[in-house]
Each structure stands twice: as C-alpha cells, then as structure tokens.
Structure 1
Amino acid sequence: MLKKLVLTGAAGKLGSYLRGPLAAMCEEFVSTDIADAVPNLAANETYVKADLAELAPFEEMLQGADMVVHFGAIVDEGPFEELLGPNFIGAYNIWEAAHRNGCRRVVYASSIHAVGMYPKSQAIGIDVPHRPDTFYGLAKCFAEDLGRMYWEKRGLEAVCLRILSCAQVTNPRAVGTWLSYDDCVRLVQRAIDTPITEFSIIYGVSDNDRAPVDNSGARHLGYKPQDNAEQFAEAIFAEYGPLDPHDLSNARHGGPFAGITLGQSAMSLLNLNEDDTGKG
C-alpha cells in the first residue's frame, strides 16, 4: 500500500470513478480539482481546490506523495490560449512538483489524440511518432515528451495512458475505441502497482474485437481488460448505416477531433449521453 497518493481532475467523470478505488490503494489520499468540493469523501481522503496553472499549490500538495495520478485538464479541443494554462502549463507544474518532492511516478491521462491523425486502416502501436489531431492532442504530445524527459534526466517514472474513448458506446467509432469504466480503473491500478515502469505508454482501451491499437509493447504493465464493445456493434451500426470514408472524422483514429477545424469543440460531435463526459 502506498503512503500517499494524489489525484488531479477528481471532480471529472473519470476522476469520480477513480477516487474510491485509488483511496483503497493508499494510507493518505488527496484529490484535487477546480471545483469547490467533491461528494462522498473516503475516510482517508482530503480534497483541495487548486488551479493546475499554478505551481505552488501542487508543490505543497505533493509533499510526501509516492505518486500523482494526473487526470486534470480541459477535456475538449479549444483555442490554444484556453488550453495553455490547464493542459500545457498544468502538465509541467505536475511533473515539476513531483520532481521537487521526490515522487516516484506520474500516471498521466494522455489520449489517442496525440496520434489521432493516423488512418484508421493502420493499426498503431505504442511506439508510433506523435501525430496530433488538435491543440488538445498537441498538449498530450507535450506532456508525453515532458514525461520521457523527466524520466531520462531526473529519474521520475511516468506511465502515459493514451485513452481512446472512456464513455458509453453511442457511435460506430466507440465500438473499437471503448474503454469501460471498470477497465479504466484496472488500467490505472496497474499503472500504479507495477513495480518498475520507467517511461511507459499504453493505450486505454477495452478488449474490443475491433480495437484499432496494439498494446503488446506494454505487457510489462500487466493490464488485462475484461470488457468488449462488440455487444453494442449490431445496434450501433444499424442505427448509423454506412459511413463516408472520405470524412476524416470516420477515417482517422482521432474521430471527430481529426475532422474539425483547430480550436473548435469536438465533444459535442461524439453523441455522448448528457451525463457522460468521458475522454475521447
């Protein structure tokens, strides 16, 4: 069991699912976000309101922490200036605060959008060069490179979880890209309890028959997804019918993020349920 674990983005959809399981993995659990509060604190949980664009609160918050699970960010495409603070500077602040406090590892919620412009006809592994589809994806590239540099220059381990789509299956793309909430928890737990990770990248995806990515290069993390989106395929494909292969939203790994104009919101194009604001 870890002595202290910190989770950013605790008020978000995925953070809400992670809080309970992560609290059970440590003696002291600190959750943080820009919301005023989060409900149902665990017995060992303390909540701290903080802005990722400011280093000082996180330098204090990470004192004595073994690891930080960094899920805080704007989870949509937007103008670069809006993403700069939480997504770019925020990533630096987390890694720098972790380094200054002697933390062992950063577990980071990266995204498929770091490589979202690859064609869907190309199955991609964890070692493909960055090919971001948006400013949002570019922030993920920045954080992944930051994590690699802090490992190689400062010995701070990192596991970058390239999440595909962690939300209910409501569109054809999600039949391949779905990461169930239960598998998301399993993924983060393995990123935490694996003894040695150095700098690692792994795709956050369930055991889907049509998964478009290859995790074989990250087997050392021991992640074994248990859910499969194929159960939704027939109904989803019947609802949507044939897709236009010339539309980048259908033809690239990033889905709608690949097809939009830079700076334009993409989340509204994913047909998510109103209460489902998962990544992807």
Structure 2
Amino acid sequence: MKKIVLTGAGGRLGSYLREPLTRLAGTLVSSDIAEDIGMLYPGESYIRADIADYDAVHTLLDGADMVVHFGAIVDEVPFEEMLGPNFLGAYNVWEAAFRQGLKRVVYASSIHAVGMYPRNEFIGIDVPHRPDTFYGLAKCFAEDLGRMYWEKRQLESVCLRILSCAQVTSPRALGTWLSYDDLIQLVTRAIDTPTTGFSIVYGVSDNDRSPVDNSAASYLGYRPRDNAERFAERILAEAPPADTDDLAQMRHGGPFASTPLGQSGLAGMNIVDDRKKT
C-alpha cells in the first residue's frame, strides 16, 4: 500500500502500532490532537487533527489506502463530551474514507459494546450489542456505522473488540489480556487480509481463561500467541475474595459495568501507562 493513516497515534496503544505500520505501507501518516508525538520513524509523518472536524479528517485521508482508527476518548465521560470525538468522529472517519476512496477502515472497538453480558456467558462475535456505558454505546454506533457503510457503499471495515490491552493487574485480566505483540498481529491481519467485508473480531490473547469466542472470525488469520496464565499465581494470591454482588466482577465490561453513566470506568482499574517511547 502507498499510505496508511493512524488516528490516536499519541495514545498508549497507538505508540505500539506506529513502527509496525510503517512496514506495511510506503507512508504512514500518524495523527492525534497532541502538539507532537515525539521522534518519527522512517516513513512516518505527523499531522495534528481533530477527528470531530470533518474537513480535517477529509484532508487527512487524502490518498490513503486504509485508515486505522484508534482516536477517541478512551474512558467513560458525560455523553456531551463523548459526542464529538467518539460519535461524530467515527462518522467523519467513515464518511471521509468513502469519499476519498479508501478500501477499508480498521476500527478500535471494545468489549464495552457488549459489556453487560454476564462473565459466565462465553460470547461470540455475533451477540447483539449490550453496552455498559456511553463509551460502549459509541462503540456500538461505530460498529453499526461500519456495517451500514459496507452494505450500502462497499467500504470494508474490521472492528477490533479490544478487551484489556494493558499490563495484567487483576483476576479479570487473566481472561481479557491482549498483549502488545498480539495487538500488532491483530491490526496487521486486519490490514493484510485480502477481503474482509464487514468483520468483528475480539482483541484478546490466547488466554486459558478467555471469555470470548473468535472462531467465527478465523478467516482473518489472527492467531494470538501470548497467554496471561503465566501471571495467574501472583495475581490470584494478591486478589481480594470474589464478590458475586459486584457487577465489575460479574460482567464482561468489568469496572465499566458497575460505574454510573458518565463517570470514569478507568478510575476503578489499575492501568499502567507503559506507552512505547520513541
């Protein structure tokens, strides 16, 4: 490919995707709302852009083959704050991708689109939406948007329902962990699979305790290699007793399932900011 665009390049997950994406196209255009994202890799350029601004997104995607859309507010906030970057931003990316003739949108969706399912239900990629927050609702909106743009306009989409792409710090993460190496493989398969139509795939490593079923997305060729079980002895020894009345422990969405609408879900999680430094 000639050009890939990465939104959300200044975020933690974006920091791990930038260098691998430079190997998949002649040019990688990284974008975020930050002033800069540090030293650029060979073949990478940076354009500051607000995804809530359609004109900025349209210009950003000029000449691109695909867009890897990771730009968003990545926590639960009041709906009015979520509306611009997460709802309108998703529309702007798909609409600009269609008008600019891109082949595919690769989208960072989330388990929070189906976060209110009970943890003891082993869910596949085809379960109906069941969001746990406004954040999860935005993921539902974008997934439906992607399906519609494929069925009405033949613009392909791969929606990556990421579970927990962060260091393993809780019993829940023993099932939901997505390692950075597996994240890179997942995004690479979403890009280099010749045809995808509209696809959903869970972003999770090969964990013994994984609560989701990716078998119906096997055509994408995603074969995770890492397993969170190696952390189990330490994590379970340090964990408090299980509480079956706690929605954070009993729903797929974890703390997002128990947090009041509009209030931070990340506040109940011990997320380590270990973004890759250039």
Q: Shorter-chain TM-score: which interval?
A: over 0.9
Q: Could you say which residue in structure 1 is the equivalent of 2:270?
A: 271
Residue deviations 1:60-88, cap 9 Å, x none?
11111110000000000010001000000
Q: Could you say which residue in structure 2 is the equivalent of 1:227?
A: 226
Asked if the contact 2:15/2:275 (under 8 Å) is kept, the reply is: no
Structure 1 residue 28, shift from structure 2 partner: 1.2
Asked if the contact 2:33/2:49 (under 8 Å) is kept, the reply is: yes
- In the alignment, structure 1 segments of 5+ residues that lack a partner are none
Residue deviations 1:200-247, cap 9 Å, x none?
000000000000000000001000001000001111111013210111
SS in structure 2 of the partner of residue 185 of structure 1? helix
Q: Quick check: 1:170 aligned with 2:173?
A: no
Q: Could you say which residue in structure 1 is the equivalent of 2:39?
A: 40
Matches within 5 A, 1:143-182: 143-182=142-181
Asked if the contact 1:104/1:157 (under 8 Å) is kept, the reply is: yes
Q: Could you say which residue in structure 2 is the equivalent of 1:218?
A: 217
Tell me the number of residue pairs that the alignment of Structure 1 and Structure 2 aligns. 276
Q: Could you say which residue in structure 2 is the equivalent of 1:9?
A: 8
Structure 1 residue 59, shift from structure 2 partner: 0.7
Equivalent AA in structure 2 for residue 128 of structure 1:
V
Asked if the contact 1:62/1:101 (under 8 Å) is kept, the reply is: yes
Equivalent AA in structure 2 for residue 76 of structure 1:
D
In the TM superposition, structure 1's runs of 4+ consecutive aligned residues that sit over 6 Å from their partners are none
Residue deviations 1:156-215, cap 9 Å, x none?
000000000000000111000000001000000000000000000000000000000000
Matches within 5 A, 1:40-189: 40-189=39-188
| Cα distance in 2, alignment partners of residues 276 and 201 from structure 1 | 27
- In the alignment, structure 2 segments of 5+ residues that lack a partner are none
TM-score between the two structures when normalised by the length of structure 2:
0.98
SS in structure 1 of the partner of residue 182 of structure 2? helix
SS in structure 2 of the partner of residue 93 of structure 1? helix
Asked if the contact 1:114/1:140 (under 8 Å) is kept, the reply is: yes
| Cα distance in 2, alignment partners of residues 79 and 276 from structure 1 | 27
In 2 relative to 1, CA 276–245 (structure 1 residues): closer, same or farther, beyond 3 Å? farther
RMSD: 1.1
Asked if the contact 1:167/1:277 (under 8 Å) is kept, the reply is: no
Residue deviations 1:108-142, cap 9 Å, x none?
00000000000001000000000000000000000
SS in structure 2 of the partner of residue 15 of structure 1? helix
Q: Which 10-residue stretch deviates more, 237-246 or 10-19?
A: 237-246
| Cα distance in 1, alignment partners of residues 132 and 205 from structure 2 | 22
TM-score between the two structures when normalised by the length of structure 1:
0.97
| Cα distance in 2, alignment partners of residues 269 and 171 from structure 1 | 11
